[in-house]
Amino acid sequence: MSLNFLQYLKKNLELTDPQLEQLFPRLNIKIVPKNCLLLRPGETRSYAFFVEKGLLRSYSIDEAGKQHVIQFAPENWFISDRGSLYFNAPSKLIIEAIEETTVIVIDHHYTDYVSGLPGYHKKIEMILQNHIWYLQNRIDSLLGATAEARYLEFIQRYPNLTQRVPQWMIASYLGITPESLSRVRKELATRHF
């Protein structure tokens, strides 16, 4: 029972070993092939995903057909379309496996069980507030930071992804062109970064 997800719950929600043992049979573990879509635009999903192993991304496609990467989800990250998950709204996002990925599918059965545990709401609110803070910083960065600053923030947030993710996806996440990303990387290399 050495799943990353259970270790995450133990650390962040302070669940005990007996509580984790009760939760284990309720887990829905799924292996997702590379390039498989877990969510398509217009679908509604009442669950989120926790990445045990592998890599997912969420993105949207604008009217011109251009992709805009919203989030990468490597190991120990959650990913979902919150509008679909919490408000039953048709999804505007696509969630795709960049690599073969093992996920824990978190649905209402899991949430119902865990939300009854002592201290859950206070702890989950802190996790949610941390996520909102990250999103605020990301919006601020997209609106006002230089391409280099955005790339350096990306490396800090996702330290192991530059070799796992195609450069055009990183450029999309940063809101810049692949050519701009190439220039930023070359400039940083000349400074021995």
Structure confidence by residue, pLDDT tens digits, 135-150: 899 999 999 999 999 9
State the chain's mean pLDDT as an integer. Answer: 90
- Per-residue pLDDT of 39-85, as tens digits, reads 999 999 888 999 999 999 999 999 999 999 999 999 999 999 988 88
Enter the tokens of residue 163: 């070799």
DSSP 14: -
The class of domain 4-118 in CATH terms is: mainly beta
Q: Which of 77, 82, 52 is nearest to 157 (CA)?
A: 77
DSSP 158: S
Q: How confident is the model at residue 2 (pLDDT cuts 50, 70, 90)?
A: low
Enter the tokens of residue 179: 């050519």
For residue 11, how many other CB atoms are within 10 A of its CB?
A: 9
Cα–chain center distance at 88: 19
Q: What is the pTM of this model?
A: 0.89
* Residue with token string 């795709």: 96
CA distance 104 to 76: 10
List Cβ neighbours of 146 (8 Å cut-off, separation of 6 or more): none
Report the SS3 class of residue 78.
strand
